[in-house]
Amino acid sequence: MSPVTEYINILIYLGVALFIGVAALLAGALLGPKRPRPTKLMPYESGNDPIGRVERYPVHFYVVAMLFIIFDVEVAFLWPYAVNAGPLGVGGLIAVIVFVGIVMAGFVYEWLKGVMKWD
């Protein structure tokens, strides 16, 4: 166990990094010209007004995110095993193989379903 002070150090570090970032943004905001023009503020479309609205996008990304969550949960289960693999011995190994096998069965299923085919 690390002492709690180490975790306070993380907060200090975060504070320092955030301060630098804010300082950079402030410098950028204060310096430099300020000449807004309607054409300048338009979203990118080579000078034309963009056609269509920004709202819908392919559902693929949702699927990828969902799969990522599932597998990340799997990894979260595997970390505690990884640290204690030796002491847990053969029983632990069998349990982990069963667990990984179940998740991988799901993975094979979605792979054969063609989730990763982008066309």
Partner 1 sequence: MEFVWTAVKALLVVVGLLTAFAYMTLVERRLLARFQHRLGPNRVGPMGLLQPLADAIKSIFKEDITVREADRLVYLLAPLISITFALVAFGLIPFGPEGAFFGLDPWVLDIDMGILYLFAVSEMAVYGVFLAGWASNSKYSLLGSLRSAAALVSYELGLGISLLAPVILVGSLNLREIVEWQAQNGWLILWQFPAFLVFTIATMAEAARTPFDLPEAEQELVSGYNTEYSSIKWALFQMAEYVHLITASALIPTLFLGGWHAPAFLPDIPFLWLFVKMALFLFLFIWIRATWFRLRYDQLMRFSWGVLLPVALVWFVVTAAWVVFKGGVA
Find the binding residues for partner 1 in span 35-54 (CB under 8 A).
Answer: 35-36, 38, 40-44, 50, 52, 54
Among 47, 48, 73, 93, binds partner 1 (CB under 8 A): 93
By the 8 A CB rule, do 115 and 63 touch? yes
Residue 109 touching partner 1 (CB under 8 A): no
CB of 98 to partner 1, least distance (A): 11
**The two structure tokens encoding residue 102:** 């179940």
Among 47, 82, 112, 113, binds partner 1 (CB under 8 A): 82
CB of 116 to partner 1, least distance (A): 5
Residue 114 touching partner 1 (CB under 8 A): no
Return the biggest CA–CA distance within the chain. Answer: 70
Among 47, 48, 73, 90, binds partner 1 (CB under 8 A): 90
By the 8 A CB rule, do 100 and 92 touch? no
CB of 47 to partner 1, least distance (A): 13
